[in-house]
Amino acid sequence: MAQDKSIKIMIVDDHAMVRSGLRMFLMAFDDLELAGEAPNGNEAVKLAEKIRPDVILMDLIMPGMDGLHAAYELHQKHPEIKVIALTSFSDPQLIHDAIEAGVSGYLFKNTSANELANAIRAVHAGNTIFSPDVTQLLMNAGDRKNQIDFDLTSREMDVLRLMVNGKNNQDISDILTLSLSTTKFHVSNILSKMNAHNRSEAISLAIKHRLVDISE
């Protein structure tokens, strides 16, 4: 799909070879533009202030300020900047920590070029993207015997199900034939009832506690 404006990407990784590979990857897509690079979280926060990228591809484990703290700081200061965690680490606790920090996506570095490009576009559009492997890890980390009743209404469950399937508020409004303000009201109630700090954390909890069928 053609876009009037390219998506500005910032790459954050302490390995020069990884940054080089991602730089080459971006060159293959006309709608993705490299806006800047940083080798650690400290530099990422400073550079993001200057260039205001649309999406940041963020490694999580780096010397100095790591990706978790950088993602959290960026989310607090510039929530309009979307962060995708791009890492080799599959520890469920790290995934939860990244989600709490405010990332909009969590992908592994073995993700294909097309999958990464589509994830960038989806996150830029307001969706939340987890790789299938991440979703499976979150499910495996959950305990069927300790399911939690968040007291969600039937309509809130409908909204949550679509959130888990990567839909943004406008998508949900269109699918459920709701006004955008009503959808936002339901999402706000869901976050409140689930005691979730952000949309990604609510999705993580829904997957962990098997509140919805992710195969839908």
Cβ neighbours of 37 (radius 10 Å): 19
- What pLDDT digit, counting tens, does each position of 195-211 carry? 988 888 898 888 888 88
How does DSSP assign 32-90, residue by residue? EEEEEEESSHHHHHHHHHHH--SEEEE-S--SSS-HHHHHHHHHHH-TTSEEEEEES--
Q: Do 70 and 24 meet the contact criterion of CB atoms below 8 Å apart? A: no
CA-nearest of 97, 171, 165, 102 to 135 is 165
Under the banding of pLDDT at 50, 70 and 90, the label for residue 143 is low
Going from the C-alpha of 50 to that of each of 14, 16, 70, the distances in angstroms are 20, 22, 15
Mean of per-residue pLDDT scores for the chain: 89
Does the pTM surpass 0.85? The reply is no
Cβ neighbours of 132 (radius 10 Å): 9
Which domains are present in the chain?
A: 7-139 (3.40.50.2300), 145-208 (1.10.10.10)
* pLDDT at site 147: 60
- What pLDDT digit, counting tens, does each position of 47-71 carry? 999 999 999 999 999 988 999 999 9
Print the SS3 string covering 113-137.
Answer: HHHHHHHHHHHHCCCCEECHHHHHH
Q: Do 142 and 209 meet the contact criterion of CB atoms below 8 Å apart? A: yes
